[in-house]
Amino acid sequence: MPTEAALLENAPVAEAPGWRGVVADGRAPALALVLLGVWVVAADALVTATILPSVGAALSGYAWFGWAGSAFLTGLVVAGASAGWLAERAGLRGALVLAGLGFAGGCAMSAAAGSIFLFLIGRAVQGAAAGWVTGLVYVALATLFPGRHLPRVLALTTSVWGVATFFGPLLGGLFADAGAWRGVFWLFAGQAVLFAAACYRLVPAESARAEGGRLPVLPLLSLTLGIAAIASAGLAARAVVAASLAGVGFLLLLLALRIDRARVPGLLPRRAADPAFPLGAAWTVYFATNAAAIGFSLYGPALLQRSAGLSALEAGYVVAIEAMAWTAASLSVAGSGPRWRSRFILLGTAAILAGLTGLTLAGGQLLATAFAAAFIGAGFGLSYSFISQRVIGAFDGAAKTRGSAAIGLVRNAGGAVGAALAGIAANMAGFGSGLDAANLAAVAYAAFGIGVPFALAALLAAARLSRQAADGAGSAASR
């Protein structure tokens, strides 16, 4: 089967995709639906972080702060692993409606919670629904849009994260200052219901439906326990306990992969319609880049507040430079041809490595941190749309649903692992005892530097992807 690059290279000039082509043939409602799904997840993730202090004060739950993130993260990864299976069994429309209603239910539980434990259960449900929505958005992209439009559509989804990053802290701050943190969750519950209703109205009933087989319970159980252990490792106060939890978690993840390899189809598809496409390298880039960069989102604000004297809102907007650069880079290269797409895959991953290295050495200094954040964001923007296009295009009709949904699974799993390791490293450098001038540079070096090996692994995998894409484009041009 010809590669995606070959198909694009041989397409007639008149069919070259443009921004108008994205919404041609009645695709505007589908695009709006995809963007709304991304917003539902992005807004919840970014606003909730801002209002957690208010939640802790109201529910006497400061000691459980970390578990709010851990519960959400575990639900995100585990539910994301079953998104492809759910779409095959219930159809894309049924799966999206279920995810939207589940998200609304989780938000309502958190909004009405009278104790921190009920709040945490609501966050876990929200995380599970968010994992479904994230995976199903990729299924929708693969099902509702031709492959030639994917870079532009993915660039638009990135812009939604950019908007959420800019307005999320502001929205959360307004609700928190008004003493109305519960209102945030009621608001999100309402928009999740609207999302579910839109999915029911706009998505064809039989989209993505297939004979999905049984839910792979054993690999899913091992994945659940592994992610939960790794997420908990980042919360442990003692280094020995943290290292033990992380070690057990990694072993359980390896066990999940081993069990899954024996299943066809599995949680993580391995067979692609394009036999020359190095799918394992694509999974490595997704996993490793998310593991590498997550530490900045977690520890960047605190370091900037201490080193540069910024307020929480100001520090949040400096961290938001990453999302803004991601959006700008993604939109600027979305119309690139096949040869440049292969180059941007490599160039973008190299920029992530360079930015993360600069971030590690910056020690929390404002200007250097801002530049490093821009490099990291631009790296994601240059490369991710094209990697996703290649992954989705590498699967045939029967495997496209699980292959597309697995993108969210691998990315979220990388973020979970990276967050735990960054937490362990930061606490070992003294973050758990508070930030001061004596340990500021050490915490930055630990929390950000732990991601450098992941970024290097991603670069090596991206080099393989780039070579394969370039070979495909070159062979197409010679015919």
DSSP string, 402-445: HHHHHHHHHHHHHHHHHHHHHHHHHHHTTGGG---TTTHHHHHH
CA atoms within 13 A on the CB side of 173: 12
CB proximity list for 453: less than 8 A, separation 6 or greater: none
CA distance 475 to 468: 11
- Count of CB atoms within 10 A of residue 317's CB? 18
Per-residue CA distances from 472 to 197, 253, 277, 348 (Å): 42, 33, 9, 19
Sign of the torsion formed by the C-alpha atoms of 162, 165, 166 and 167: positive
CB proximity list for 391: less than 8 A, separation 6 or greater: 279, 282, 403, 404, 407
Shortest CA distance to 299 belongs to which of 473, 428, 166, 147? 428
Query: What pLDDT score was predicted for residue 25?
Result: 81
Q: Position 5: which residue type? A: A
> Per mean pLDDT, which of 9-18, 197-206, 360-369, 455-464 is the most reliable?
455-464
Give the tens place of pLDDT for each residue, 157-171: 888 887 887 787 778
Sign of the torsion formed by the C-alpha atoms of 6, 157, 315 and 182: negative
Task: Reply yes or no on whether the pLDDT at 264 is more than 80.
Answer: no
Shortest CA distance to 328 belongs to which of 270, 286, 261, 380? 380
C-beta separation of 226 from 250 below 8 A:
yes
CB proximity list for 250: less than 8 A, separation 6 or greater: 226, 230, 417
Mean pLDDT of 148-161: 87
Left (φ > 0), alpha (ψ -120 to 50) or beta: where does 310 sit?
beta
Query: What pLDDT score was predicted for residue 161?
Result: 83
CA distance 378 to 323: 8
Mean pLDDT of 401-412: 85
The confidence band for 397, taking pLDDT boundaries of 50, 70 and 90, is low
> Per mean pLDDT, which of 34-38, 230-234, 334-338 is the most reliable?
34-38
Query: What pLDDT score was predicted for residue 275?
Result: 65
CA distance 255 to 239: 24
- Kindly calculate the radius of gyration of the chain based on its CA atoms and give it in whole angstroms: 21
Query: What pLDDT score was predicted for residue 474?
Result: 46
Shortest CA distance to 134 belongs to which of 337, 416, 406? 406
Task: Reply yes or no on whether the pLDDT at 5 is more than 70.
Answer: no
Span 272-479: which CATH code?
1.20.1250.20
Mean pLDDT of 374-380: 95
CA distance 130 to 93: 16
| More confident site: 57 or 348 | 348
Left (φ > 0), alpha (ψ -120 to 50) or beta: where does 311 sit?
beta
CA atoms within 13 A on the CB side of 288: 22
Mean pLDDT of 298-315: 81
> 3-class SS at 291?
helix
Shortest CA distance to 220 belongs to which of 405, 85, 70? 85
Task: Reply yes or no on whether the pLDDT at 299 is more than 70.
Answer: yes
- The DSSP 8-state label assigned to residue 466 in this structure reads H
C-beta separation of 264 from 444 below 8 A:
no
The confidence band for 396, taking pLDDT boundaries of 50, 70 and 90, is confident
Write down the residue that tokens 């700008």 correspond to. 328
The confidence band for 477, taking pLDDT boundaries of 50, 70 and 90, is very low
Q: Do the domains 272-479 and 27-210 match in fold? A: yes
Helix axes 321-333, 150-177, angle to 10 degrees: 160
Class for the domain spanning 27-210: mainly alpha
Query: What pLDDT score was predicted for residue 476?
Result: 41
Give the tens place of pLDDT for each residue, 274-293: 666 788 899 999 999 999 99
Locate the domains of the chain by residue range: 27-210, 214-264, 272-479
Cα 167 to the chain's mean position, in Å? Answer: 19
Q: Six-digit token pair at 201?
A: 């109205």
Q: Return the C-alpha torsion angle 174, 176, 178, 183, nearest 10.
A: 90
CA distance 223 to 451: 22
Average pLDDT, the chain: 82
CA distance 67 to 236: 11
> How many residues appear in the chain?
479
Query: What pLDDT score was predicted for residue 206?
Result: 66
Query: What pLDDT score was predicted for residue 23?
Result: 82
Task: Reply yes or no on whether the pLDDT at 394 is more than 80.
Answer: yes
C-beta separation of 422 from 450 below 8 A:
yes
CA distance 306 to 319: 14
Lowest mean pLDDT across 245-254, 396-405, 411-420: 396-405
- Count of CB atoms within 10 A of residue 370's CB? 17
Mean pLDDT of 32-57: 82
Q: Give this prediction's pTM.
A: 0.82
CA distance 368 to 374: 10
Query: What pLDDT score was predicted for residue 208?
Result: 55
C-beta separation of 392 from 142 below 8 A:
yes
Write down the residue that tokens 């709006």 correspond to. 32
CA distance 408 to 391: 12
Query: What pLDDT score was predicted for residue 63?
Result: 62
Give the tens place of pLDDT for each residue, 192-235: 999 999 999 888 776 655 555 667 788 888 888 888 888 787 67
